[in-house]
Structures are given as C-alpha cells and as structure tokens.
Amino acid sequence: MQDNQQSSLNQRDSFLWAYYFADGIAKPLDPKELKTAEQNTGFTWVHLQSDTLDAEQTMDDLGLPQPVADSLLALETRPKTLAIEGGLLVYLRGINTNPDADPEDMVSLRLWLTDKGIVSTRRQGRKLLSVQDVKNDIEQGVVISSVGDLLLEIIERVVDRISEMVDILDDELVTFETAESMDLQARQRLSVVRRQAAAIRRYLAPQRDALDTLYRSNQFLTGEQAFTLRELSDRTTRYVEDLDLARERSIVLQDEVRNRIADRQGMVMYVLSLVTAIFLPLSFLTGVFGMNVGGLPGTDNPEAFNVLTFSMLGLVALLGSFMIWKKWF
C-alpha cells in the first residue's frame, strides 16, 4: 500500500519540489523519498500546487490533517497566522511579478509548519519569485539548520520583494513631484501608482498582524530567530506607513495637477475675455456703420472710412492702455 502511495505521489501534477534538511545541508527529494525522510531526524520542505485535480490526494498522502488541507486548498485567503492541529498555518501575500500581471494583484502563499518541516502551496500560473529565491539560495548552499531558519528565509524574501516595489512607487512619485508639468500619460500613470499603493497596503496591513501573531506564538523559533522575525514585522509596518504616505502624496499631486489645469484654463478664459472686451465696441461700431439705411453720418464724406478706421484704432489703444494701467494684463 505504501509503495502504491509513493508511486502515485511521484506522478502527481501538484508536486513541485521537496528538500530534506539535516545538519544545515539540503538534499533534493523525489516524491517517493518523502515517507522515508519523515522518519529521519531532519525536516523537510514540500512545495505544492494547490489547484490541480490531485492536490487534495497529495496532501492526504503526506499525512496532512483534513482541516489543514482544506485551508491550504482555499481559493481566497487574507494574511493571517492560525494555531491548528498542533502546528501553525501561515497565510502570506507577495508581489506578483508574473508576466502581464499587475503588482497589486498579490500572490497568496500558504505555509503549514510543524516540527517535521514546512508544506507550502501556491496556485497555477501564480508563481512567487520570493519562494524561487529561497529555492535558489538552497541550491547555492545556504545553510538552513531548522524549521525556523527556513520560515525566516521565506518571510525575508517576501518582505524584500515588497521593499523593492515600495521603492519603485516612491521613485515614481519623486519623479512626478519634481516634474514641471505632466502630460496625459503621466497623469494616467500617477493614477496607477495611487491604485497600486492602496491595493498593496490592503494586504500588507493584515500581513503585519500575521507576522506579529507568529512572533507571539513563540513556536519553532529560537530567541535570535524571534528577534529577526520582529525586525521583519517592523519592516512590514514601515512599508505600510510608506504606502499610506505614497497614497497621500499621489492625492496631493493629483490635486496640484487639477489646480494647474484649472489655472491654465482660467488664464485662457481670462485672455479671451479681455480680447472680447476690446473687440466688443469695435463690433458695435462696425455693426452700426454697416447698416444699409439712410441718415448715417459720413456716408457722403470720402474720408469717412479713414476717420472710422483711425477712430477704432484709437479706441483699441485707449482700451489697451486702460487695461495695462489696471494691471489686467
């Protein structure tokens, strides 16, 4: 029966990778080696894809309790930490760096922690580069001596990727703040930055609480590891504050842009109003003298046109001088 389980596990689409850790050294595991590894003194890290048809059966073969398996298979999760079935269930969110994806569409990472190791899951097409970074570190020989070390390595990579995104948003806002003017494309990008800051903050706030709960649970962590986790939680808190500030800065920038546009439109209307004020009496005069009726003055005078023209020019000069004196220009 056990051989059949190992054989079927080896063929599962849900299985992504697994490592066995002993004395700080990681060894890649085939699915068929998982049962044997669990009987040793070290610990394992198994990474699964949770939305395949065989995912639930794979978790059952790994011996996960049903409530834990249901939680790892859940479609929507918010960051949190739960003590359940003698272990810890940790939900995290990371920056979405998949092709054609919006960064604010943050990727869910679910972790099941016990003294035997970690089982992590993600959905198809929603890879998390933070997890891939950890895998690369392991393959390059990074020493991971305990479940706490592995947990902190994953969390630190997640926080590092979030830090990069927060820095990108901050740099873009600095560019907008120092720009003398903003075209339509820049204004659209500013709206995107504001939306991204709000969306990322939506998940970071509960993630900060999840890390704080994990810290207070005091499971699987030494004193030094707990201190490191506290620092990561504080970094997350700082990023939440930075995103709040980024959102406020973007709102202020949008208000300034709208004010600039309104001022520019107001200036255009102001100039048009002055031009209208100058040409209104001229239009009146040309309208009066353009009427084809008898009795108009100067109709029999050959110099009447010149007189009218110079009179109109004089009127323009008089109105212009008056506006300059009133400092309307």
Domain extents for the chain? 2-259, 268-292+301-325
Measured distance CA(130)–CA(145) in Å, rounded: 20
The string over 64-85, giving b where at least 16 C-beta atoms fall within 10 Å of a residue's C-beta and e elsewhere, is: beeebbebbbeeeeebebbeee
Locate 109 and state its tokens.
């990472």
For residue 275, count other CB atoms closer than 10 A to its CB. 10
Q: What angle do CA 208, 214, 217 make, to 5 degrees?
A: 140
Contacts of 294 (CB under 8 A, 6+ apart): none
Angstrom distances, CA of residue 6 to CA of 34, 50, 61, 99, 139 = 8, 19, 8, 35, 24
Measured distance CA(252)–CA(233) in Å, rounded: 29
User: What is the SS3 assignment for 141?
Assistant: coil
pLDDT of 231 reads 94
Tens of pLDDT, residue by residue, the chain (329 residues):
444 444 455 567 888 889 999 888 888 888 777 766 565 678 999 999 888 888 888 888 888 999 999 989 887 788 999 998 889 999 998 888 766 667 667 888 999 999 889 999 988 877 888 898 999 999 998 889 899 999 999 999 999 999 998 999 999 888 888 877 777 788 888 888 888 888 888 888 899 999 999 998 877 888 899 999 999 999 999 999 999 999 888 888 888 888 777 777 877 787 778 778 777 777 776 776 666 665 666 666 676 667 767 777 777 777 777 777 767 66
Instruction: Report the amino acid identity of residue 85.
Output: E
pLDDT of 219 reads 79
Measured distance CA(101)–CA(87) in Å, rounded: 33
Q: Is residue 37 within 8 Å of 29, Cβ to Cβ?
A: yes
Q: Find tokens 């298979």 and name the residue.
A: 73
pLDDT of 5 reads 47
Question: What is the CATH topology of the domain spanning 2-259?
Answer: Beta Polymerase; domain 2 (3.30.460)
Q: Is residue 114 within 8 Å of 87, Cβ to Cβ?
A: yes
Q: Shortest CA distance to 274 belongs to which of 221, 216, 324, 312? A: 324
